[in-house]
Amino acid sequence: MKSIIFLALRYLAYYRWKTGVLVAAISVILFLPLSLEYVLDHGTERLRARAQATPLVLGAPGSAIELMLSTLYFESGNLAPLKYALIDEIHETMLGQAIPLQVKYRVGDFPVVGTSPDYFDFRDLKITNGRRLALAGEAVLGALSAKELGISPGDSVITTPDTVFDVTGTYPLKLKVVGLLQPTGTQDDYAVFVDVKTSWIIGGTGHGHEDLARPEASGSVLKRNGKDLVANASVAAFREVTPDNMADFHFHGGVADFPLSAIIVVPRDVKAGVLLEGRYQNPNSSVRVVLPSVVIDNLLNTVLIVRQYVLAAITFVGVATLATVALVFSLSIQLRRSEITTMMRIGAAPMRIGVILGTEILLVLAASVFVAGIAMVVVNAWGDALFGWILMAGNL
Partner 1 sequence: MDIDGWELVTKNLVIFIAFALAACEPAGEVVTSEDTAAGNMAAPVVYTVNYPLAWMADRIAGEVVEVVLPVPPTEDPDQWQPLPQHVLAYQDADLVILNGAGYAKWTTLAFLSPAKLVDTTANATDWLVPAGDVRHRHGPKGEQNNTDTASHTWLSPDLAAEQARVIAEALMQLVPGSAKGMKERADTLVGELKKHARTLGEVFENLRDRQFIFSHPVYQYIDARYSLDGQTVVWEPHEEPNEDQWQAMADLVEPDRSPIMMWEALPLRSVSDRLREMGISVVVFETGANPHPRKGYDVILDDNLANVRALGSMAASPNSAKAVD
Q: Which residues bind partner 1 (CB under 8 A)?
A: 87-88, 91, 94, 97-98, 100, 116-118, 131-138, 178, 195, 197, 212-213, 222-223, 227-233, 235, 241, 243, 246-247, 249-255
CB of 273 to partner 1, least distance (A): 16
DSSP string, 304-333: HHHHHHHHHHHHHHHHHHHHHHHHHHHHHH
Residue 27 or 71: the one with the smaller Cβ distance to partner 1 is 71
Helix axes 16-52, 2-14, angle to 10 degrees: 90
CB of 319 to partner 1, least distance (A): 59
Residue 25 or 241: the one with the smaller Cβ distance to partner 1 is 241
CB of 149 to partner 1, least distance (A): 21
CB of 198 to partner 1, least distance (A): 9
Q: For residue 61, give the amino acid letter.
A: P
CB of 176 to partner 1, least distance (A): 10
Q: b or e along 127-141 (b: 16 or more beta carbons within 10 Å of the residue's beta carbon)?
A: beebeebeebbbbbb
> In the Cβ-directed half-sphere of 270, how many Cα atoms lie within 13 Å?
0
How many whole angstroms separate alpha carbon 110 and alpha carbon 309?
34
Residue 15 or 122: the one with the smaller Cβ distance to partner 1 is 122
CB of 216 to partner 1, least distance (A): 14
Residue 150 or 226: the one with the smaller Cβ distance to partner 1 is 226
In the 8-state DSSP scheme, what is residue 269?
S
Q: Is 331 exposed, middle or buried (0-12, 13-18, 19+ CB in 10 A)?
A: exposed
Residue 73 or 105: the one with the smaller Cβ distance to partner 1 is 105
Residue 5 or 229: the one with the smaller Cβ distance to partner 1 is 229
CB of 227 to partner 1, least distance (A): 5
CB of 274 to partner 1, least distance (A): 20
Pick the closest to residue 224 from 234, 215, 250 (CA basis).
215
3-class SS at 347? coil
How many whole angstroms separate alpha carbon 375 and alpha carbon 34?
10
Residue 109 or 121: the one with the smaller Cβ distance to partner 1 is 121
- 3-state SS, 286-309, equals CCEEECHHHHHHHHHHHHHHHHHH
| Cα angle for residues 75, 86, 200 (degrees, 5° grid) | 55
